[in-house]
Amino acid sequence: MGAGKTTAIQAVSEIDVVSTEASNSERHLVDKPTTTVALDYGEILVDGEEKIRLYGIPGQRRFDFMWAILKRRAQGMVLLVNNDAPDPVAEMLAYLDDFRELYDRGGVVVGISRSDIAPEPDLATYADAIALAHAGKVVPVFTVDPRNNDDMRMVLLALIANIEMRALFATVERDAI
Amino acid sequence: MNAAVHRNPAVISAASSILDEMKSVSSSLDYAALLTDDGFDIARLPGETDGARFASMASSMQALGDAVTHELKIGNSEYIIIASAKGYVVQLRVPGHPMVLSALFDNDATVGSALAIARSFVQKMATLLTETASREPEMTSPDSGKNL
Amino acid sequence: MATEWNQAGEDSAAGTDEISATAITSEPPTTAGWEQAAVAMNSVLQLSIPMLMKMEFDAHDPLFIDFRYRAFAWSTPLSAFPEDAVLAGLQTQPTDLEAGLLFDLPGQPLDGLLWLIGLNSFHGARAPWLAPNERYKLSRWPNLTQHRHTMRQMQMLAVLGNAYVSAGELADMAGVDNSEAQSLINALSLLRILNRSVQAPAAVVAAPQATKRESLFSRLRARLGR
């Protein structure tokens, strides 16, 4: 919660983002007036016939029924983690577990927000934690500013590049030990 | 720091009394809950439903309902009805507060009567909240999230 | 600003006056460009002991590196990185964690410098610390929001993140020159985020590389104008 998902979709969407914000009851935990309770929806048009649909779903666990709905539809996921949170590495690992199917397909990129305010943990720490929990699968992890169009576009491109390359090498994985 | 609305004892007690009263006037009410806009369970009638999960889902539904009506430029969503073979879920906002009533009626009630009951009780809830707020100055004001 | 760093160096226990040449490199460079710097930096990073480094140039202020904090200080911004800078001198000095600062922290993050030096040394040839007959795989991605990069490099990173490949195989899969692939491998190796293996077999590609329809990546890249 509070990592910048709604902001990030707004930065990259070519249509006005449909958002579903509600008044935040937990301002003592995360100081923002609203929070997403269903999903944000944005789009990028690729060419005449194709578009990329962007869904921003709530990170709070009580909305995990939403995750289940979207996991089925999604090809990939950008996981935004607030480096200012109490244990962001543990949170990231928990989400990687929750979204295991996407992760197995190479469909996860992690964006660490607010690393300018909270420089630790650093990226190497995240990479080590991933390697420990899931040996052999390299997940791109970048520091990002969710308000920055360029950052979010780059993250999206890295996600797609990773998914497509992973698919090409998929049989190697299955034959390996 | 402010207590969250759904943990405020005065609000919980007001909500519980409203739901109890609702149950007493409507025998076809199978389940009901009052929840915050962002999906926290304030009070609910006893039953097998997972109250926390239901509250989150109801809040998503409410928000999606508003998204649809805004997209169609027809204002806010006033109520949402989900009809199934075994009953209706009727859902609507407590006027003036970031709170939603979601109630399940069995098929003995007509949609019209279910809606009428739900409407009268959200109005009662709104009145009760305002009275409670004015009686207890330190209570978190539900619609502003600030101490009075 | 250069004056401040010099003073900081002189005031600190290390002191630029006292930086003496070590066995790593002490002679004036024989070639222009960043090769010598890359080799020296790679050696220090490989040894993984606390070190200070000073580079002097014909046309730029000195560059100071404090490996203890993975930081550097230089008046030339990386956005104006001089690919053909002429190195006039390079000195290294072992230090320890208690010794004074060479420049005010935090300085600039060393990774940014390693990325650019790695890409711009050796002109597409294999870095001398790498061996022939090796395959490579990323241990982690470089932080692309902080490094200027091309889409071809991103595509190569996606390959390297998912399979062990040699420079030649990488070039084929990404549709780039060998020199481009090798330069990226050099940089990633300098950043120490590359796993090296002589045993890893050639990666089997599941689908034909040339498909009639361009990949989503290419089409999105065109769309986003990069």
**Cβ-based contacts of B140 with chain A (< 8 Å):** none
pLDDT the model gives residue C4: 33
Please check whether residues C9 and C101 belong to one and the same domain. Answer: yes
**Closest among B106, B91, B79 to B54, alpha carbons compared:** B91
pLDDT the model gives residue A30: 84
**Cβ-based contacts of A113 with chain C (< 8 Å):** none
CA of A77, closest CA in chain C: separation in Å?
15
Q: Does the residue A175 lie in any domain?
A: no
pLDDT tens sequence for chain B (148 residues): 346 888 899 999 999 999 999 999 999 999 999 999 999 999 999 988 899 999 999 999 999 999 899 989 999 899 999 999 999 999 999 999 999 999 999 998 899 999 999 999 999 999 999 988 787 665 444 544 444 3
Distance CA A147, CA A94 (A): 25
Please name the helix (run of DSSP H) or strand (run of DSSP E) that holds residue A70, with its range, or none.
Answer: helix A64-73
For residue A147, pLDDT over 80 is answered with yes
- pLDDT < 50: residue spans in chain C: 1-25, 210-212
Query: What is the three-class DSSP state of A8?
Result: helix
Interface residue A133 vs chain C (CB under 8 A):
no
Distance CA C103, CA C123 (A): 31
Size of interface A-B (CB pairs under 8 A): 71
Distance CA C115, CA A111 (A): 20
Pick the CATH number of B5-135 from 3.40.50.450, 3.30.1060.10, 3.40.1690.10, 3.30.450.30: 3.30.450.30
Mutate to test the interface with A, among C193, C220, C221, C226 (most CBs of A within 10 A): C220
Domain CATH code at residue C205: 1.10.10.10
Q: Which residue of B has its CA nearest to A33?
A: B145
Question: Contact at 8 Å (CB) between A76 and A107?
Answer: yes
Q: Does the residue A150 lie in any domain?
A: yes
**Cβ-based contacts of C141 with chain A (< 8 Å):** 138, 140-142, 158
Rounded mean pLDDT, A13-40: 88
Query: What is the three-class DSSP state of A19?
Result: coil
**Cβ-based contacts of A37 with chain B (< 8 Å):** 37-39, 56, 59-60, 62-63
- Number of domains forming the structure of chain C: 2
Q: Where are the domains of chain B?
A: 5-135
**Closest among C107, C125, C127 to C38, alpha carbons compared:** C127
**How confident is the model over A89-115, as pLDDT tens digits?**
999 999 999 998 888 888 899 999 999
Whether the bond into A121 is cis, omega within 30 of 0: yes
Distance CA B32, CA B26 (A): 11
Question: Contact at 8 Å (CB) between C173 and C161?
Answer: no
pLDDT the model gives residue C226: 61
Query: What is the three-class DSSP state of A49?
Result: coil
Which carries the bigger pLDDT value, residue C220 or residue A157?
A157
pLDDT the model gives residue C63: 96
pTM of the model: 0.82
pLDDT the model gives residue A177: 44
Q: Which residue of A has its CA nearest to B143?
A: A23
Question: Contact at 8 Å (CB) between A98 and A64?
Answer: yes
Torsion of the alpha carbons at A93, A97, A102 and A104, rounded to the nearest 10: 90
Rounded mean pLDDT, A69-75: 86
Q: Which residue of A has its CA nearest to C204?
A: A172
Rounded mean pLDDT, A1-20: 89
Question: Contact at 8 Å (CB) between A1 and A32?
Answer: no
Domain CATH code at residue A163: 3.40.50.300
Domain boundaries, position C98: 2-120
Which residue's structure tokens are 């190796």? Answer: C189
**Range with lowest mean pLDDT among A36-50, A66-80, B44-58, B67-81:** A36-50
pLDDT the model gives residue A94: 94
